[in-house]
Structure 1
Amino acid sequence: MIRRRVADLLISIFVLLLFHPAIHAAILLDRVVAVVNKEVITWSELYRIMESEASEQVKALNDEERNKIFKNNEAAFLEKLIDMKLQIQEAGRLGLQVREEEVKEAIENIKKKYQMTDAALEESLKKEGLTFEEYKKRLSDQILISQSINHQIKSKIVITDEQVKKYIESHKLSLAGEEEFRLKQIFFRKPKDDSRRKELEEKAAMIVQRLKGGEDFSALAWEYSEDPSAKIGSDLGYVKKSYMAKEFIDVLSPMKAGDVSAPFWTDQGLHIIKLEEKISAKSSDEQKDSIRKQLEEEAFAEKYRSYIKSLRENARIEIRL
Structure 2
Amino acid sequence: MNFKKTIIFSIFFFFLSQIIFAEKLVNKIVAVVGENFLTLYELNKMIEPFYKNIITSNMTDIQKEEIKKRLQKEILYRWIQDTLIETEAKKYNITVSNEEVENYLNEEIKTFGGKERFITELKKQGIPFEEYKKRIKKELLKIKFIQFQVRGKIVITDEELRNAYMEVIKNYDREPKYYLKVLLINGDKETAQKIYDKILKGESFEKIREEYSFTTEILNNVVLKKSEIDPEILKEVEKLKENQITQPIEKEGIFQIIKLLKKEKGIPPSFEELKPKLFQKLFEEKAQKYIEKWMKELKEKRYIRVFL
TM-score range, shorter chain: 0.5 to 0.7
1:47 to 44, 47, 50: 44
Corresponding position of 1:106: 104
Q: Distance in 2 between matches of 1:312 and 1:85?
A: 11
Range moving further from structure 2, 36-45 or 120-129: 120-129
Corresponding position of 1:178: 170
Corresponding position of 1:193: none
Cα–Cα, structure 1 residues 66 and 177, in superposed 2: closer, same or farther, change >3 Å? same
Q: Distance in 2 between matches of 1:301 and 1:311?
A: 15
Q: Distance in 1 between matches of 2:172 and 2:121?
A: 36
Q: Distance in 1 between matches of 2:75 and 2:298?
A: 18
For 1:222-261, what aligned pairs fall within 5 Å after superposition? Answer: none
* Same amino acid, percent of matched pairs: 28
Corresponding position of 1:37: 34
Cα–Cα, structure 1 residues 134 and 164, in superposed 2: closer, same or farther, change >3 Å? closer
Shift of 1:72: 2.8
Shift of 1:290: 6.4
Shift of 1:180: 6.7
Corresponding position of 1:158: 155
Corresponding position of 2:69: 71
SS in 2 for 1:97: coil
Q: Structure 2 counterpart of 1:79, which letter?
A: Y
Q: Distance in 2 between matches of 1:93 and 1:177?
A: 44
Q: Structure 2 counterpart of 1:313, which letter?
A: E
Corresponding position of 2:229: none
- Gap runs ≥5 in structure 1: 182-279
Cα–Cα, structure 1 residues 35 and 112, in superposed 2: closer, same or farther, change >3 Å? same
SS in 2 for 1:177: helix
Q: Distance in 2 between matches of 1:50 and 1:37?
A: 23
SS in 2 for 1:40: strand
Q: Distance in 1 between matches of 2:114 and 2:132?
A: 15
Q: Structure 2 counterpart of 1:297, which letter?
A: E
Q: Structure 1 counterpart of 2:73, which letter?
A: A
Q: Structure 2 counterpart of 1:298, which letter?
A: E
Specify the structure having the higher radius of gyration (Cα): 2
Q: Structure 1 counterpart of 2:102, which letter?
A: K
Q: Does residue 1:82 correspond to 2:74, yes or no?
A: no
Aligned length: 210
For 1:168-317, what aligned pairs fall within 5 Å after superposition? Answer: 177-179=169-171, 282-283=268-269, 285=271, 292-317=279-304
Deviations 1:205-225 (A, max 9, x none): xxxxxxxxxxxxxxxxxxxxx
> Do 2:34 and 2:303's aligned partners in 1 also have CA atoms closer than 8 Å?
yes
> Do 1:36 and 1:316's aligned partners in 2 also have CA atoms closer than 8 Å?
yes
> Do 1:179 and 1:281's aligned partners in 2 also have CA atoms closer than 8 Å?
no
Q: Does residue 1:319 correspond to 2:306, yes or no?
A: yes
Cα–Cα, structure 1 residues 123 and 290, in superposed 2: closer, same or farther, change >3 Å? closer
Cα–Cα, structure 1 residues 143 and 311, in superposed 2: closer, same or farther, change >3 Å? same
Q: Distance in 2 between matches of 1:298 and 1:27?
A: 42
Deviations 1:242-277 (A, max 9, x none): xxxxxxxxxxxxxxxxxxxxxxxxxxxxxxxxxxxx
Q: Distance in 2 between matches of 1:312 and 1:282?
A: 45
Q: Distance in 2 between matches of 1:312 and 1:109?
A: 35
Corresponding position of 1:147: 144
Q: Distance in 1 between matches of 2:159 and 2:270?
A: 16
Shift of 1:149: 0.8
Q: Distance in 2 between matches of 1:174 and 1:139?
A: 36
Deviations 1:165-203 (A, max 9, x none): 5x57xxxx967932279xxxxxxxxxxxxxxxxxxxxxx
> Do 2:51 and 2:67's aligned partners in 1 also have CA atoms closer than 8 Å?
no
> Do 1:34 and 1:319's aligned partners in 2 also have CA atoms closer than 8 Å?
yes
Q: Distance in 2 between matches of 1:136 and 1:63?
A: 35
Q: Distance in 2 between matches of 1:149 and 1:282?
A: 33
Corresponding position of 2:94: 96
- RMSD value over aligned CA atoms? 4.2
Cα–Cα, structure 1 residues 294 and 125, in superposed 2: closer, same or farther, change >3 Å? closer
Cα–Cα, structure 1 residues 162 and 174, in superposed 2: closer, same or farther, change >3 Å? closer
> Do 1:175 and 1:287's aligned partners in 2 also have CA atoms closer than 8 Å?
no
SS in 1 for 2:26: helix
Q: Structure 1 counterpart of 2:285, which letter?
A: E
